[in-house]
Structure 1
Amino acid sequence: MTTALQPRLPSHPVLRLRLAPLGGLPRPIDGAWWPRSYDLLAELPPLLAGLPPAWGHINSVTVNGAEWSATPGRMLVSNQVVRLRRILAASAPHTVVLLAPGRGRWDLLVVPPNTTEEAAEPLLASATGGHV
């Protein structure tokens, strides 16, 4: 009997996040995030863990869109409480807003999870001004 070795899957998938460079003029979008699903409870902890330390503790997250799964009003991420809100605004239907008291606000474009890599790449690049 021959046993075929299966390739190991990464224990933690790579975070698909691109951020615009710091400094310069204020931007309407600070980067792009390409989650693997619309399950905020599963997707939010890796996103928050992958943000720059300079952004500080994000204590409020607002997602825009009906696609996101129902969420509680808050959740515990890395032993810190994060408030969650889901809104339906026509002005920016695919965004997430991150707030850190005393540090700032960051708006990220959300690339829909079912987007192909070929279609996602230009969206990620445009949200960061072409920076990788």
Structure 2
Amino acid sequence: MSAAQPAGGTASFSRLHEAVNTGDMELISKTIDELAEPDVLVRTPVPIGATGAAALKEVFTRLLRAFPDLHIAVEDMIVQGDKVVYRNTVTGTHQGEYMGVPPTGRSITYQEIFIFRFADGRIAETWGVVDLLSQMRQLGVIEM
């Protein structure tokens, strides 16, 4: 592993993060094409039939349809070897269908942690843990 991988990884993630926060799906899609391997391994269990870079695009398409004002704030970043770990706070207003839940107009805030593995400066593999329980509670699907 070269010393340039972590720096390249953090720069790549920053570009992706900035693109996502624009809410512009065309820019997000283009950025994913530039930064991710076409066959990137997406290890987060998501109910999407697509794989690779297409799966990443579909995730953001669905999120932005549901939460057009989606915003991701990076709270922590850890770099080790060819991996970069991010702890994020995600906010948005539920204005479109999300995981079978019709729009509620509610604002939500939830946490997520992602690990990106980079190869030759490109995203080669991802793992993610998203606080779905918090999402569903805030959308009124689950009461506690």
The structure with the largest strand share of the pair is 2
Answer yes or no: same fold by TM over 0.5: no
TM-score (norm. length: structure 2) = 0.26
Pick the structure with greater CA Rg.
1
